Amino acid sequence: MKALLTGGAGFIGSHLAELLLANDDEVYVLDDLSTGSIENVSHLLDRPGFHLVVDSVLHPAVVCELVHKADVVYHLAAAVGVKTIVEQPVRTLHVNLKGTETVVDACSKFEKPVLIASTSEVYGDHRTETPLREDARRIYGSTTQKRWAYADSKAMDEFLGLAYYEEHALQTVIVRLFNTVGPRQTGMYGMVVPRFVDRALRDEVIEIYGDGLQTRCFCHVSDTIRALRDLMADIDRTTGQIYNVGAPNQISVIGLAERIKLMTGSSSPTVHVPFAEVYGSGIDDMLHRVPCVDKVRDAIGWLPMHTLEEILHDVIEHATAPVTAGVTAEIAA
């Protein structure tokens, strides 16, 4: 099987590439390295069957050539992180909307099944801790709040994928990811677990945005990529559907900081910082996002296998591992 991974040099994409290569699939990665990293895939560059193309999903000719070569497409490329949303709102909308349109249109042209990675952010700002089902209503704020631009752009990606499925019979499956974490994730774009771990290991101040009572759930990247692979492998049954992929291991942000401090033996103090001070105006934070995973379990038998303790252990272990020399290799262009 030949698989194209857009955004495949990113955190999730690089782990998925590893999994597919281990299954003896041939993997093509398309990534402009704007938020992805060559370090994420450096250990794969010399692997037989791995191909890295440094270019953008915004270039139709490149996308069409790679889609034509592939048997299946995993569309993971997107603008990611609250920091990116705030600092580059135009890029966020352009990459998420135009990039998905380019990929899905090519998949339709060549009749190649596509998995579209969406996000739990599309649910909006739910105030209760009720697990969110795929058919739950979306609750959004004002268009002056920049965070909703990201959520809306990913929702439009979903609408586009479903439209191609209904109008052009394109085999499409949509996955809403809930806070995937694990080794190689960076805190550079605002991801809370690697950011807290990095500060804790340095005994530096851990900044908690807001009151810290907002809750989140975290899914190990190895569990996430297993779901992506299996949903695509059963595309004849999963096509035209949306699936939550996450772990219902709810914890408050302040509780997360304390758990990480305990596991690292850190003496880091914690301080509360208003969202407006970090990101300026235009950012609302969601209070709760808990996934209901009944649908994906019933479809492919998937359930998360890693506990929160195991997830945090793996992130900490990766962060404290010795740095090895980078690998160089020729990159396709």
Marked catalytic residue, from 150, 164, 189, 209: 150
Q: Which residues contact 180 (CB under 8 A, 6 or more apart)?
A: 11, 12, 218, 219, 220, 221, 224, 245, 246
Tokens standing for residue 246: 């996450």
- Residue 140 is among the residues annotated as catalytic for this protein: no
Number of CB atoms found within 10 A of residue 73's CB: 28
- CA dist 213 to 209, 250, 252, 261, Å? 10, 11, 5, 17
Tokens standing for residue 224: 């996430």
Torsions phi, psi for 154 (to 5 deg): -70, -35
Torsions phi, psi for 212 (to 5 deg): 80, 5
For the chain, give the number of residues: 333
Tokens standing for residue 175: 């996955």
Number of CB atoms found within 10 A of residue 35's CB: 20
Centroid of chain to Cα 30: 16
Catalytic residues: 150
